[in-house]
């Protein structure tokens, strides 16, 4: 029963409407994307991008930074990461210091990721199903990186539900938590000269090696 409306079949119209509905649903679902789905999507996206781009594989720093800024960073909550790494020192820092800490720590992590990113091009990721209460707002998403001829490396992501979707606040590589590791580093700097000393050290670190 195909009725023609000005050269358009109703079946075709139905398909268009259905497609629109799907698009709307997809956008809606996207905002509520489950944390494990998000991790898989982002990781696959980054891997596909690296594999398709010889510039990235050759280590073109500007391209690498672009990929990190556009694809990875929006999924991280840097304020939370910095606050957790600071531990109880966070509340002693002034808002201005906190802002500088977030900026500098973010820059340091971006630099570190830039160096490590292209090492992952030949690797396969294995995504573990998320075992968490659907109502949970703080979960750990587990993944495994398979490397040829070497033991797999477990990479877990600590994620928190926020108003703008799930955000990563810790990365745990083979049991080594980024936040915990930096907490010692930060504590030491603060012990040796306060929060300003930590900011100074972070700045020096970021300027020092970014020049190379």
Q: Measured from the CB atom, is 54 or 174 closer to another protein? A: 174
Q: Measured from the CB atom, is 2 or 151 closer to another protein? A: 151
**Shortest separation between residue 28's beta carbon and another protein, angstroms:** 34
**Shortest separation between residue 51's beta carbon and another protein, angstroms:** 19
Q: Measured from the CB atom, is 44 or 92 closer to another protein? A: 92
**Shortest separation between residue 105's beta carbon and another protein, angstroms:** 10
Q: Measured from the CB atom, is 56 or 190 closer to another protein? A: 190
* Interacting residue ranges for another protein, rule: CB under 8 A: 87-88, 108, 111-112, 115-116, 119, 149-151, 154, 174-177, 180-181, 183-186, 188-189, 201-202, 205, 209
**Shortest separation between residue 119's beta carbon and another protein, angstroms:** 6
For tokens 């990113």, the residue is 117
Q: Measured from the CB atom, is 4 or 150 closer to another protein? A: 150
**Shortest separation between residue 87's beta carbon and another protein, angstroms:** 4
Structure tokens, 182: 């930096």
């Amino acid at each position: 029963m195909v009725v023609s409306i000005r050269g358009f079949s109703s079946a075709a119209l139905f398909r268009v409407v259905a497609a629109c509905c799907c698009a709307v649903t997809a956008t809606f679902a996207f905002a509520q994307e489950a944390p494990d789905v998000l991790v898989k999507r982002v990781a696959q996206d980054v891997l596909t991008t690296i594999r398709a781009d010889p510039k990235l594989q050759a280590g073109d720093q500007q391209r690498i930074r672009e990929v990190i800024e556009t694809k990875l960073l929006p999924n991280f909550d840097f304020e939370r990461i910095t606050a957790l790494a600071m531990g109880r020192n966070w509340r002693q820092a002034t808002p201005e210091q906190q802002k500088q800490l977030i900026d500098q720590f973010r820059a340091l992590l971006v630099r570190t990721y830039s160096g490590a990113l292209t090492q992952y091009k030949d690797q396969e990721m294995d995504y573990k199903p998320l075992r968490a209460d659907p109502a949970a707002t703080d979960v750990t998403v587990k993944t495994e990186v398979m490397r040829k001829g070497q033991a797999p490396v477990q990479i877990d992501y600590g994620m928190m539900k926020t108003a703008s979707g799930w955000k990563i606040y810790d990365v745990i590589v083979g049991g080594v938590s980024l936040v915990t590791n930096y907490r010692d580093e930060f504590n030491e700097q603060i012990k040796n000269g306060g929060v300003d000393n930590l900011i100074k050290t972070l700045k020096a670190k970021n300027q020092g090696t970014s020049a190379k």
